[in-house]
Structure 1
Amino acid sequence: MAAEAPAPTAVVETAKRFLASFLRPTRILVAVSGGSDSKGLLLALNEAIEAAEPKRFSLAACTVDHALRPESAEEARGVASFCASIDVPHLIMRWDGAKPPTGIQAAAREARYRLLADAAERFEAGCIVTGHTSDDQRETILMRMQRAPGASGMASATLYDRRVWVLRPFLSLDRASIRAFLATRDVTWFDDPSNANPTFERVRVRTELAQSPRAEEGAWDAGARARSSARAAGFLTRQVRVHAGLVVEIPLALADHRDNVDWQRALLALVAVVGGRAHIPAADTVKRVAAFLQEATPGRMTAGRCVFDLRASGLYLYREARGLTTLTLAGGKAATWDGRFHVHNGASTPISVAAEGRGGPQQQRLIAAGLPPGVAGRASLSAPKVLSGNGESVASVTIEPRIGLYDTFLPGFDRIMADRIAGLFGREPYPPPPVHDLLTEMER
């Protein structure tokens, strides 16, 4: 039996295998913070490209300066110098503006990916790669398990904002291996002091894992999740209709599947989309919904901003007519209304988007589509209506259903289900990743 490859060799070989997974030549943008993981990723990819793929790939790098510490600007300049030393073009993107008093890590994450995506466009890169490791994966799984049983880990490929794929080639490597690799190249790194601050959840989970290394064992499998998503997509294809992006219609025969985990995932995803939410309902909400459907008595209940309207003809889901705000949009601008619709104002003057209310044209369209009049009437109360400044309806505006569950971050292992939901709501499929992934292997 061959001996296990030394850590430095394993790191470069992992980079080579990652390059071999690409479907076509491309430029790769590496997110480099200056820590060991991202520096190791950049250096390993650079060596792998020089050794075997100099004509198919090129690298660029980006450091996001969150401007949260006085030292961050100098650290970013240090990364720029390192990139210059290996002839990799580099860009510093700074998170300017006021920072939120709470939820700073979540806000920093959102800003980081937005700025990385902007840098990818400037470099004309085909993807972004990050240095997440198996250590990060274990922490993520345990964090999500503590919030909700059956939660997933990080995907090796995630689509950001429907425009660029973020790839994580080092999820199979541990941090110690990467640091050993950097040591053989005499490359140093710095550690963000927030990585030792117990105020943050990830730091507390890291400590827990150090004390109990098997804490997250058996938690999650990416292949199983992808297969579950494919089965959920099958349920959606066979059993679900969506009317005008407003009403989800499900036949009562689906009650036979109420205990099926894949069908439950599909249903909860639909609830999130109808309610304009970026996450599936919380556990207590799921229990209430399950009890309502289990009883199978015609009636209505509201959960997650979504009305569950159970009738002899089927189950209908639509947005509850509460908490509907008015969006004012300047000419040429775009924004999201109610978390459910992406609106672009093609006019030169401002417009407003508000709920249609009772008796509008959408109600008649839903009735004409065969929906019960009561469902059509209630669902149309939350339909979007576009008004010009003088109160007249305008046509130079595009409105597209938004799928908050996937439009910002779409894990690759959920792509089949996401594409099916997009189709039901009248949207084009999401762009596929630039590499062979779990789903391309399943589709072969």
Structure 2
Amino acid sequence: MSRGSHLPITPDEADAAFEPLAKFEHVVLAVSGGPDSMALLVLASEWRQRRNGAPPSLSVATVDHGLRPESPREAEFVASEAQRLGLPHVTLPWTGEKPSRGIPDAARRARYRLLDDHARALSASDVAVVTAHHQGDQAETFAMRLARGAGVNGLAGMPAERVLHEGSTVSLVRPLLAFAKSRLIATLEARGLSSVDDPSNSDHRYERARMRSALSDLDAAGISPAALATSARRLGEAEAALRYADECFAATLALSFGNEVFAAFDRNAFRAGPALLRQRLLGSLIARYGGASERPDLVEIEDLTARLQAEDKSTATLGGVMVSSGSRFVRVWREAGRLTQSDLILSPGESRTWDRRFIVQRAADAIGAVKVRPLGAENYARIAGRLAAKYRPPSRAAHALPSFWQGDDLVAVPSLAPFAVASQASLEETGCQLKALAAAAAC
């Protein structure tokens, strides 16, 4: 390890790292009290002072997962440090029953959900949540995904910036990814500041702790966290190039999205493309139409792509979608049998996420609540005559669509409205609104 890896982060380095935050109106610093996040807190505070009042404004949030008796005291410690630096602080408790298994993943999802809800409740219009993920975290993520046989997308590691939560308007920014943990600790020590210790970080019951221990052995053998993080960064650049190739490939397929009812693309053009781009295209469509179903493994996508290449006609299900290949087109839609979305009651002015595919809304000036439920085969059969036969989507694709009801009356199926015959009763209702989330690929 070089001497420089123990030096505090300089003001010039911090200014360069935090520069991407200047475009936001407000920034929420996610601070747990550990050395990484405490370094983030002090570096961001000093950066703000050097900006002489220029945006963004800063605040601090601590998520109390309620998993250890020390956590409330740790949140109080962060609150006192934030106050000392002149920054407002809020503690966000994770309440309710905790799972008996998969605690780290559940805690991570709860943490991002709480931070997202908090950030969106602020008055600022352009908000980022900032975390203290560093070079070591990037190396651990790379190694864990490598152990699962991840593709380029997974091995690209954590991006410096992304949307915080699917469907959110809040950005997640990680300005410290280029720095070793030792430099964050040195930054605190240079200022005489303390931090708290979370014993779960060294608990070998958890995958990340086990990988952290294993990486220390690799470091001794010359495979350093810095080298792994560099590979992750370079694979991130390769992933960006592949996204460009994805767009070029998709442009050859006559790809359409059928108002998010179903996707369709040219089968022969698809089969003419490189295997990797075929897998990525299919994976992105499964992510887009699979809703709340569990995402398939990459090997499953590889197998299905090979099947589409080998068979002239086929029908398969994967990741909550139906993939139907005919003589000219391949079609993808939500598999109704995998839909677990329960009925939702929407009051005027309310919006909810539905099957992780749509945001369903009730207009503020609408009269009365509506119930949103899957359309289903029986109700689709009742309205199929309102659809133009020439443009009618696959009937099974319609069964998993959200439909709006008042009592026993079907009042709207917004997804099918573009396919309706003009002379028939409308499938839209002004008080019932629908927005597709159009989930990004997760190959």
TM (norm. structure 1) is 0.82
Structure 2 counterparts to residues 416-427 of structure 1, below 5 A = none
RMSD (CA atoms): 2.8
* Count of equivalent residues: 401
The partner residue of 1:222 within 228, 232, 236 is 236
Whether the 8 Å contact between 2:5 and 2:183 is mirrored in structure 1 is: no
Q: Which residue of the other structure, out of 288, 311, 320, is the alignment partner of 1:296? A: 311
Q: Which moves more between the two structures, 251-260 or 165-174?
A: 251-260
How much has 1:105 moved relative to structure 2? 1.6
Give 1:12-27 correspondences, 5 Å limit.
12-22=11-21, 24=23, 26-27=25-26
The amino acid of 1:380's aligned partner reads A
Residue equivalent to 1:441 = none
Match of residue 113 from structure 1: 112
Alpha-carbon distance change, 195 to 236 in structure 1, aligned in 2, over 3 angstroms: same
Structure 1 residues 25, 403: CA separation in 2 closer, same or farther (over 3 Å shift)? closer
Provide the residue aligned with 2:390 in structure 1.
368
Runs of 4+ with deviation above 6 angstroms: none
Could you list the per-position Cα deviations for residues 199-258 of structure 1 after superposition, in whole angstroms to 9, with x for gaps in the alignment?
111101111111113288445522221221122133334421111312211112323444
CA deviation vs aligned residue, 1:368-394 (integer Å, no higher than 9, x gap) = 32x6xxx62332333333322224435
Deviation for aligned residue 1:325: 4.7
* Contact 2:294–2:320 (8 Å) recurs in 1: no
Distance 1:172 1:353, change over 3 A: same
Matches within 5 A, 1:228-247: 228-239=242-253, 240-247=255-262
Are residues 397 and 355 of structure 1, via their aligned partners in 2, closer, same or farther at CA, if it must alter by over 3 Å? Answer: same
Are 2:249 and 2:273, in contact at CA under 8 Å, matched by a contact in 1? no
2:86 maps to what in 1?
87
Please state if 1:400 is matched with 2:415: no
SS of corresponding position for 1:13: helix
- Greater displacement, 46-55 / 223-232: 46-55
1:388 and 2:388 correspond? no
Alignment map for 1:159-238 (pairs within 5 Å): 159-161=163-165, 162-213=168-219, 214=223, 217=228, 218=231, 221-238=235-252
- Secondary structure in 1 matching 2:193: coil
C-alpha separation in 1, matches of 2:53 and 2:376: 57
Q: Aligned letter for 2:335?
A: E
| Equivalent position of 1:143 in the other structure | 144
Aligned residues of 1:352 and 1:389 also touching (Cα < 8 A): no
Distance 2:6 2:209 in 1: 29
- Residue equivalent to 1:422: none
State the shift of 1:137 in Å.
0.4
Greater mean alpha carbon deviation, residues 328-337 or residues 141-150: 328-337
Asked if 1:40 is matched to 2:58, the reply is no
Larger mean CA deviation between 260-269 and 223-232 belongs to: 260-269
Greater Cα shift, 231-240 or 216-225: 216-225
Of 135-144 and 14-23, deviating more is: 14-23
Quote the offset at 1:366 in angstroms. 7.0
Higher RCO (CA 8 Å, separation ≥ 6 residues): 1
Deviations 1:240-285, CA, capped at 9 Å, x for gaps = 1111312211112323444342342122111222222476421342
- Whole-angstrom CA distance in 1 between matches of 2:196 and 2:262: 52
Does the C-alpha gap of structure 1 residues 392 and 308 become closer, same or farther in structure 2, counting only changes over 3 Å?
A: closer
SS at match of 1:105: helix
Aligned counterparts of 2:116 and 2:323: Cα–Cα separation in 1 = 38
Counterpart of 1:337, as a letter, is W
**Contact 2:268/2:328 (8 A) holds in 1:** no
Partner of 2:418: none
Give percent identity, aligned residues only: 27
- Contact 2:134–2:176 (8 Å) recurs in 1: yes
Check whether the contact 1:37–1:175 (CA below 8 A) recurs between aligned residues: yes
User: What is the DSSP-based 3-state SS (H/G/I as helix, E as strand, rest coil) of the residue aligned with 1:327?
Assistant: coil
What residue identity is the alignment partner of 2:308?
L
CA displacement at 1:140 relative to structure 2: 0.7
Residue 155 (structure 1) shift: 0.7
- Shifted more, 16-25 versus 62-71: the winner is 16-25
Q: C-alpha deviations, 1:384-429, integer Å up to 9, x for none?
A: 33322224435332222233447xxx9xxx9xxxxxxxxxxxxxxx
Shift of residue 195, structure 1, vs aligned partner: 0.6
Aligned to 2:358: 341
1:359 corresponding residue in structure 2: 381
Hey, what's the Cα distance between the residues in 1 that align with 2:175 and 2:9?
15
Asked if the contact 2:403/2:410 (under 8 Å) is kept, the reply is no
Q: Is 1:308 aligned to residue 309 of structure 2?
A: no
1:23 CA displacement:
5.6
Deviation at 1:326, TM superposition (A): 6.1
Deviations 1:51-91 (A, max 9, x none): 34443443211111111111111111111111111212211
Mapping of residues 266-277 of structure 1, within 5 Å = 266-277=281-292
- TM-score (normalised: structure 2): 0.82
Counterpart for residue 155 of structure 1: 159
The alignment partner of 1:92 has SS state of strand
* 2:45 counterpart letter in structure 1: N
CA contact (8 A) 1:16 1:45 kept: no
Using the alignment, how far apart are the partners of 1:223 and 1:204 within structure 2?
28
SS at match of 1:205: helix
In structure 1, the residue corresponding to 2:211 is in which secondary structure? helix
Trace 1:95-134 onto structure 2 (pairs within 5 A).
95-120=94-119, 121-122=121-122, 124=124, 126-134=127-135
State how far apart, in whole Å, the 2-side matches of 1:378 and 1:328 are. Answer: 19
Distance, in Å, in 2 between the alignment partners of 1:26 and 1:335 is 26
Give distance in 1, aligned partners of 2:164 and 2:289.
Answer: 21
